[in-house]
A and B are shown apart, each in its own frame.
Chain A
Amino acid sequence: MDFDFSVITGHWHFLGYGVLVTLALSVASGITSLASGFVVALGRLYGPRWLKPGIVLYIDSMRAIPVLVVLVWTFFALPIVAGVTLPPFWAALVGLTVHLAAYAAEIVRAGIESVRPGQTRAALALGMSRGEILHRIVLPQAIVRMLPAFGSLLSVTIKDTAIASVIAVPELMRQSETVAGQSFQPIEVYTFAMLVYFVILFPVTRGVDRVYRRVAHLGRS
């Protein structure tokens, strides 16, 4: 069996573009799902009563539906319902955000609930407002405790961007498929793609652990 990795160097620009799109989609959907996750969790914890069943239903539904289904629906079915066609990248960003924000919201909720209620009561007794308590007392401790879970969510996010290949987002997975199909050298191309994903993901999982060990003491109470 002969392997010829010149197919990688020959399509360097094409595959490199894929890596850039993968990174861009990961960072973008990481940020949007984190932000939406905070909003959803705060809505669930402190929002009006009528809002909560809706939020719970949303979160549990996203835990039940595969991300592939969410992405395909966003790209193919949403335009029929809403009348606007999103380009693949934006459809993927929307789909991933809708899906991952539910997970982020659960992380945020668990983090906030891990701060003992006695602290909130003490702060109330000292005359702080609800907003002040959240901002000064609860979140500084909660965020540190959320970090490891956010780290694993980030690696899930990066892995999920590969699924955006099914809606033709030109990220690494999709570009690899194209090159593999054109060159008839799937082994070399997919092995290269594996290597790139591993090189991106491994430092994330390891780095998160390391950073967390540095800051874990900040979240103790």
Chain B
Amino acid sequence: MTLDWSVVWQHREALVAATGTTFLLTIATMVIAVPCGVGVAVLRLYGIAPVRSLATGYVELFRNLPLILVVYWAFYVVPILTGVGLSPLATGLAALALNVTAYNAETFRAGINSIRKGQVEAAMALGMSRAQALRRVVLPQALRRITPVLASTWVSLFKDTSLVSVIAVTELAYVAMQVRAQTFRVLEMLTAMALIYWLLGYPQAKLVDWIQRRYAVNE
């Protein structure tokens, strides 16, 4: 078995660009999925009955589907349903955002519900409106509990971006596997891919541990 690791160095530019796309996807998805998650959670908690069940249905649907299937589905179905051909990157982003929004909505809902009812009642007894009580009393505490969960969602998302490689988004997994197919340096490229993910993901996983310790709630 002869190994030729120079193949990794030769394709460094493509790999660096692909890593950039991976980060871009992660950041863009979170930028979309956090506000949308808040929106869905609020609709689910305070909306009128039909809206509430719609929001619940959405969350339950996407939490119970494999992401890779959602990616394929978006790739084939969205252009046909809407008549607009999106780029693979935009399609991948849409699939990731749909998925993560559902998880975030559940996180926000759980965070808001974790604040005892008595606090809202007390705030309202003091003359605050429901919205004020939510903004001033519930959310500041809920956010503190939500932060660690969002952090681990971030790490999962960072890893899950690899799944959009199946629709040819030029992120890290796709580019590494393309180079593998072109050069036949299978072991080298796949190990390099794993190593790059490890180098980027390990510090993030450790950071999440730190955030979880930092924000631990003791009641």
Contact = CB atoms under 8 A, between A and B. Distances in A.
A35 to B, nearest CB: 24
B190 A61 contact: no
B173 interface: yes
Most buried by B among A76, A160, A177: A76
Given A60-B205, A205-B63, A66 B173 contact: yes
B201 interface: yes
Given A68-B162, A177-B72, A190 B201 contact: no
Contacts of A81: 187
A159 B196 CA distance: 24
Contacts of A193: 69
Nearest to A204: B64
Contacts of A190: 69, 72-73, 76-77
B177 interface: yes
A77 B66 contact: no
B69 A194 contact: yes
Contacts of B1: 80
Nearest to A72: B190
A154 B66 CA distance: 13
A194 to B, nearest CB: 6
B201 to A, nearest CB: 3
B64 A155 contact: yes
Interface string A186-221: 110011011001100110010000000000000000
Contacts of A126: none
Interface residue tally of chain B, by bracket? 35 or more
Contacts, number: 117
A163 interface: yes
A66 B198 contact: no
B5 interface: no
Q: Determine the main DSSP class of A at the interface with B.
A: helix
Interface string B117-149: 000000000000000000000000000000000
B14 interface: no
B84 interface: no
B69 A173 contact: yes
Contacts of A198: 61, 64-65
Given A1-B80, A63-B155, A163-B68, A68 B186 contact: no
B193 interface: yes
A166 interface: yes
Contacts of A161: 66
Given A63-B205, A64-B205, A202-B60, A163 B163 contact: yes
A46 interface: no
Contact of A68 (B65, B155, B163, B201): B163
Given A72-B173, A177-B72, 17 more contacts: A63-B155, A64-B205, A66-B197, A68-B165, A69-B190, A73-B191, A76-B190, A77-B186, A159-B65, A159-B66, A162-B66, A163-B66, A163-B68, A173-B68, A180-B72, A190-B72, A198-B61
Interface of B: 1, 60-61, 63-70, 72-73, 76-77, 80-81, 155, 159-160, 162-163, 165-166, 173, 177, 180, 186-187, 190-191, 193-194, 197-198, 200-202, 204-206
What 8 A-B pairs have minimum CB-CB distances, sorted nearest first?
A64-B201, A162-B66, A186-B76, A66-B159, A201-B64, A66-B162, A159-B66, A64-B202
